[in-house]
Amino acid sequence: MCLISVANAPVSFGVFELSDAPPPLTSAEMVSAIAGAGYDGIDLGPLGYLGTKDDLADRLGGLLLAGGWADLRFGDADAFARGLAALDATLEVFAAAPPAPDHLRPRPTLGCSGSPARFARPGGNAPGLEPGEWPGYAARVQEAVRRCRDAGFEPAFHHHLGTYVETPQDVERLLELTDVRLCLDTGHLLLAGGDPVTALRDWSDRIGHVHVKDGDRAIMAKALADGADLRELMGRGGFAPLGEGELDLPGVVRTLDEIGYTGWVIIEQDTLPGRRSVARNITDQAANREKLRELGL
């Protein structure tokens, strides 16, 4: 089996933004639940949730920092420039993470702020970038990559429903135009029409981070029919507990071994605050960890 460690993330507990409302559980409660379920690491979550560069290591409670989301408006040059200060602040927190082997150093996870049209109709159901917009978009991604590398971290770009890099075709175009590593998210790819097992093989030389997430295409189809957007899709359970959606989880684990992947696998189950109880979230994430353990991870 390849050298893989397993983490979880605040999004699995409905913690996306601190500005939404008070988090459904404190960071200490989340760290305790994740460590108690046998995870090795945790994602950063919204900046400040797990503390600052001064107290991050203490608040992780022995967990390693696996990575963290850095949201940038790659499709808008001016907004992108304004967002770089937040990226720099995130990298400062990363620098305070507990020491880890090279293959387990935290990955800055570059995320696209997305498209209102795609957010409203996720899954490749709305237009993306025009051909002439791709070079500028890719150049800004490359600038963010350079900034991360200058700070001593190798980033990975996260394709995501509702954004300009959503479908397998979008991912292919981004990989052609940049040298960024890819954060392969099995659930987002599945619901955008891709095959995660095939993607692991096809993009194996560019994968630097893996988010393991299940997806339910029936829930997505009903959400789209109802005119629900990406946020509501998450609230309805479009990202199911592992084994309850359509993800070929054994195939994913087997392929990670076949391609010799080393690094973090982060289990995520995107949900909205208030739509599921804290107790259920904790139970689900313990069960998700057990699912991978049964498969040898």
DSSP letter string, 68-100: EEEEE-TT-HHHHHHHHHHHHHHHHHHTTSPP-
Q: What size, in residues, is the chain?
A: 297
Helix (H) and strand (E) counts in the chain: 12, 8
**Residue 275 clears pLDDT 90, i.e. is over it:** no
8-28 pLDDT, tens digit per residue, is 999 999 998 777 668 889 999
- Residue 184: phi and psi, rounded to 5, are -80, 120
Going by C-alpha positions, the residue among 42, 73, 2 that lies closest to residue 289 is 42
Output the pLDDT for position 114: 85
Q: Which of 50-54, 61-65, 101-105, 257-261 has the lowest mean pLDDT?
A: 50-54
Q: How many CA atoms lie within 13 A of 7 on its CB side?
A: 28
User: Distance between CA 138 and CA 154 in Å, rounded?
Assistant: 17
Across 142-154, average pLDDT:
98
Q: Which of 18-32, 69-83, 211-225, 238-252 has the lowest mean pLDDT?
A: 18-32
The answer to whether the beta carbons of residues 174 and 141 sit under 8 Å apart is: yes
Residue 227 contacts by C-beta under 8 Å, 6 or more apart in sequence?
none
The answer to whether the beta carbons of residues 38 and 292 sit under 8 Å apart is: no
Q: How many CA atoms lie within 13 A of 273 on its CB side?
A: 13
Residue at token pair 């990226």: 87
Output the pLDDT for position 274: 81
Q: Is 114 left (phi over 0), alpha (psi -120 to 50) or beta?
A: left
The answer to whether the beta carbons of residues 273 and 14 sit under 8 Å apart is: yes
Mean pLDDT in the chain? 95
Output the pLDDT for position 2: 52
Q: Which of 5-9, 75-79, 110-114, 146-150 has the lowest mean pLDDT?
A: 110-114
Residue at token pair 């099995």: 186
Structural element, H or E, at residue 174: helix 168-177
Provide the 3-class DSSP secondary structure of residue 151. coil
Confidence bin at 192 (pLDDT 50/70/90): very high
- Residue 79: phi and psi, rounded to 5, are -65, -35
Across 107-123, average pLDDT:
95
**CA end-to-end span of the chain, whole Å?**
8
Output the pLDDT for position 283: 96
The answer to whether the beta carbons of residues 75 and 135 sit under 8 Å apart is: no
Output the pLDDT for position 1: 43
pTM: 0.96
Confidence bin at 276 (pLDDT 50/70/90): confident
